[in-house]
Structure 1
Amino acid sequence: MTQRVELATVMDRLAVDELITDYAVAVDDGDWAAYRRLFAPDGRADYRSAGGVEGDAVQVAAWLAESLSLFSMRQHLIVNRRVTFGTLDHDTGDTARVQADYVNPMRFVQDGDGSSAPDFVCGGRYAFGLLRTDDGWRLREVVVQEKWRRLPGPRPAPVIN
């Protein structure tokens, strides 16, 4: 590889990383206009494994706004990002796939500000499909695969043999 190609790859990786971070921040802050802007015109998201919906960015943002209003605090942590460029046949380098794990602690709204509410925590894996557009990298696909969740309430006593 030439230095120019290597620099372009590094710049793309940084832009993709920024897009994934912007996604997490938009969801956590409830900035649904910013969330919708992250998507390509034909972009879709699928939250069905977490009990949600599948649809275009407008439909999913509306569902997220309603369902996440139950939580006074959200802190989306997206880690272990694996980025692959040009995954489609005959691609010219304008697509990318990102597989990343997430942990998402949230606090239920209770008595106004939620400061005494119990935590709800879930985790899993994202599969992002990205497309380079005239406006930069955008989400073409977001698929959530929730793997676990911890709900508030008493935990069962450990079994001692």
Structure 2
Amino acid sequence: MTQRVDLATVMDQLAVDEVISGYAMALDDSDWPALLALFTPDGRADHRAAGGIEGPAAEVADWLAGVLGPFPVRQHLIGNRRLTVQDGGGFPGDRAEARADCLTTLFAESGEVTSVVSRYTFGLSRTDDGWRLHSVVALERARRGADAS
């Protein structure tokens, strides 16, 4: 029985990792439909610590599109992930939290480069469509370069 529980946990970890990587790639590619598809219908995001907004995922995606628009090349490198899956009485539950560090590099059309170091906290829920984000909180820790989010 332990091997089956361990396998389920590993499968959940891989699925959650895919959601987090998808989040970063959607931001880099300006793929706002893909970003929104990662959220539950009631999903929310909070970018206030980076001078942004907090609210429903769609509103925050619109804000991100405007803020990131002047940077045609961007890279969100997410690493140092720490995942906790809810314990469902010895089995993986339907909620998870992941913390991850992110180094974002933004290249403006002018050639100016901005680097931002952040820590993200991702709240996830298991849905019929797989793991989805119900919350994202971005905590900016350091910034160098032009004014960017």
The unaligned stretches of length 5 or more in structure 2 are: none
Deviation for aligned residue 1:72 = 1.3
Aligned residue for 2:52, secondary structure, equals: coil
Does residue 108 of structure 1 match 2:102? no
Aligned residues: 144
Correspondence for 2:114: 120
Q: What letter matches 2:80 in structure 1? A: N
Who is 1:131 aligned against? Answer: 125
Q: Which residue of 1 aligns with 2:45?
A: 45
Q: CA RMSD in A?
A: 1.6
1:89-100 alignment runs, 5 A limit: 93-100=93-100
- For the pair shown, the structure with the greater C-alpha radius of gyration is 1
Residues 56 and 62 (structure 1), Cα distance of their counterparts in 2 relative to 1, 3 Å cut: same
Classify 1:6/1:87 alpha carbon distance in 2 versus 1 (closer, same or farther; 3 Å): closer
Contact in 1 for aligned 2:28/2:75 (Cα 8 Å): yes
What's the offset of the Cα at 1:57?
Answer: 1.1
Give aligned-pair identity as a percent. 55
Q: Which runs of 5+ in 1 are unaligned?
A: 111-116, 153-161
Segments ≥4 residues shifted beyond 2 Å: none
Q: Does the 8 Å contact 2:5/2:92 carry over to 1? A: no
What's the TM-score, normalizing by structure 1? 0.86
| 1:16 matches 2:16 | yes
Higher relative contact order (CA 8 A, sep 6+): 2
Counterparts of 2:98 and 2:109, CA distance in 1? 32
Measure, in 2, the Cα distance between the counterparts of 1:147 and 1:92. Answer: 32
Cα distance in 2 for residues equivalent to 1:99 and 1:49: 16
